[in-house]
A and B are shown apart, each in its own frame.
Chain A
């Protein structure tokens, strides 16, 4: 029996999930541009409000979810996700449709997630990374679809070799994973189609 009821999700799911999706869609279509999250969902720690918004918007019984150590440890969070999304939690990275990281400094090798196949590149994992800060003032230079000329994106904190892994991921195009960064209030995306020019 539940000792405490899970925390509430959307109060008006059709309307709020639409606003949330629209922010994610706009962000995915304009890689690196930082969007304010329209809805903030209070989820059990260590999941942040924007990651929770994304989970409740995109995840359901059709999408196996992988959780990093910190998230997987939280029984409350597991209950929260089970109650609101019904998504199966998997420990098999290649099976995950979405993978959530509370600690972006411990990603391991992101190429261990599902990368899609040449015939079905869409059968890949989308990573949701909780970070502290996003900025367009400094960081890596991004180019590609959705970016008129170039756009800079700084993300902190990250595993030190993250941008090398991201560049290797982009080189797999059209295979590869897509990444959504979220702070406690904002989000930005890095789809596989984005080319990364490393620099100061």
Chain B
């Protein structure tokens, strides 16, 4: 064998990249996280072959959970074909060789950056979130020693003050993503920077939800059917984003989370589903929106 053939061989990684001791350490943290829903378990996060901020926490959790029988889906802001999703999918294709899909229903493990699929998840699926800042109190209290004490005492008054100040300043709770939730009446948890639109999907979800923060070295979890309540006030109840009289320009869907697409420099714009698989599935079923009709007219 020549040096050329040797160096052109793909590197021989362990299955799913991480070594077995690292996986055991992450697996133990995942089990603790499941046993204490919403509590952030410290773990010895490893360096991954991509920078912090690109989903290294989610990747480590996925690597510890995934097996050859699994089918993986990776989404970035709801889409299967944006940079982060493509890069992470390629990583697991190379290091684990598992089956890949873009279809939500076919996936057994879904790694996500900041969205929950529109399609309802099931009991045999695991949803892995990439989390940048796991500590919901961090911007209110920078000291870890203090936030840890606040969680220990279930002392979350400060968070309510923050939401109240939102109301005092803007007339409503202006937090629109990473909207804090209360888990089983015990821990306030950061749902990762998902839009608050997705918060209700977390409540009593049939799938297991795992959260990995690589730089901050924390893992937390929501077992299936866990009570997840968005914080609010009696006179300012929690509500999700709403686009009245708006339908997806591609598939005509309503009541989904939209991306706004700027079309020209004259104020032209359209709204499309943020969940690309959901949108494509609807189009395949024959649902079309305004932009599609426009295309057809142009073709005629």
Contact = CB atoms under 8 A, between A and B. Distances in A.
A25 B125 CA distance: 12
B14 to A, nearest CB: 6
A70 to B, nearest CB: 25
B35 A178 contact: yes
B67 A174 contact: no
24 contacts: A14-B16, A17-B24, A25-B34, A25-B65, A25-B208, A28-B223, A29-B34, A62-B21, A121-B39, A122-B29, A122-B41, A144-B184, A146-B226, A148-B225, A173-B186, A174-B36, A174-B187, A191-B34, A191-B35, A191-B36, A192-B36, A193-B35, A193-B36, A193-B37
B149 interface: yes
Given A17-B20, A21-B27, A60-B24, A122 B152 contact: no
Instruction: List the 3 closest A-B pairs by CB distance, nearest first.
Output: A191-B35, A146-B223, A118-B152
Nearest to A124: B32
Nearest to B63: A18
Chain B residues touching A, majority SS: mixed
Given A119-B149, A145-B225, A28 B67 contact: no
A160 interface: no
Interface string B24-54: 1101111111111101011000000000000
A169 to B, nearest CB: 11
A178 B20 contact: no
Given A18-B65, A178-B32, A192-B35, 14 more contacts: A18-B15, A18-B23, A18-B66, A18-B67, A25-B30, A26-B208, A29-B223, A58-B24, A121-B36, A122-B32, A122-B33, A146-B226, A173-B36, A174-B36
A116 B65 CA distance: 25
B286 interface: no
A19 interface: yes
Q: How large is the interface on B (under 10, 10 to 19, 20 to 34, 35 or more residues)?
A: 35 or more
A18 B16 CA distance: 10
Nearest to B14: A14
Interface of A: 13-15, 17-19, 21-22, 24-26, 28-30, 57-60, 62-63, 97, 117-122, 124, 126, 144-148, 173-174, 178, 191-193
Nearest to B40: A122
B24 A57 contact: yes
Nearest to A22: B67
Contacts of A26: 208
B148 interface: yes
A1 B282 CA distance: 68
Contacts of B153: 118
Interface of B: 14-16, 20-21, 23-25, 27-37, 39, 41-42, 64-69, 148-149, 151-153, 184, 186-187, 204, 208, 221-227
B27 A30 contact: no
Nearest to A180: B31
Nearest to B223: A146
Contacts of B226: 145-146
B15 to A, nearest CB: 4
Contacts of B187: 174
Contacts of A14: 14-16, 20
Contacts of B186: 173-174
A17 B187 CA distance: 31
Contact of B15 (A15, A124, A148): A15
B225 A147 contact: yes
A193 B36 CA distance: 6
Contacts of A126: 31
A192 B204 CA distance: 19
Given A28-B34, A191-B34, A145 B27 contact: no
B31 A25 contact: yes
Nearest to B225: A148
A62 B235 CA distance: 50
B36 A122 contact: yes
A13 B18 CA distance: 13
Nearest to B124: A26
